[in-house]
Amino acid sequence: MFNEPSVSTGKACLHCKEPIKGRSDKKFCNDACRSGFNNIKYADYNSHVKKVNQRLKSNYKVLQSLLNNEHAKWVSEATLAAAGFQFQFYTHVQLHPDGALFKMVYNYCYTAHERSMYYIAKSVPEHLTVGQFKEQRGLLPI
Ligand SMILES: [Zn+2]
């Protein structure tokens, strides 16, 4: 069994500032100090990333729920907003070959059109232009 020597390293613990005993490369007294130090160091990062991730997750669930197993549909801005959708939170953008810019929430996508209508889909419709999609569905619902 390896016993750590109780010789001081001459360094102070990065968390509690007590002198560290043991190996010369140690930065903390123990796991509790290491964990306490990292909790403080990453608290700001964690709180910001967590907030944005929660909003993205919520938007994902809204799109999933509104699609309700359909691949794509048109929904009003009011419907999305009423479901709690936050339009400024998306993971990335994807440009459709016809020029439409889709905002992505992971694999789901949405794009705004006239009369406050949004096209939402489980993935960007590579095989179908937005114009063709409109034709298939007739005029946009009001
Ligand atoms: Zn310590």
Q: Tens digits of per-residue pLDDT, 78-125?
A: 999 999 999 999 999 998 777 778 999 999 999 988 778 999 999 887
Query: What is the CA(3)–ligand 1 centre distance, in A?
Result: 19
pLDDT for position 142: 37
- What pLDDT shows up at residue 133? 60
Domain definitions of the chain by residue range = 28-137
pLDDT exceeds 80 at position 8: no
Q: How many angstroms is it from 29 CA to the middle of ligand 1?
A: 4
Among the listed residues 127, 135, 138, 139, the one whose alpha carbon sits nearest the alpha carbon of residue 71:
127
CB 108, CB 61: distance < 8 Å: no
CA distances from 28 to 1, 9, 24 (A): 21, 11, 11
Q: What's the token pair of residue 60? A: 């994902």
Centre of ligand 1 from the C-alpha of residue 28, in Å: 5
Give 38 Cα–ligand 1 centroid separation in angstroms.
Answer: 12
pLDDT above 70: percentage of residues in the chain = 85
Ligand 1 centre to CA of 24 (Å) is 15
Taking residues 65-82, report their average pLDDT. Answer: 94
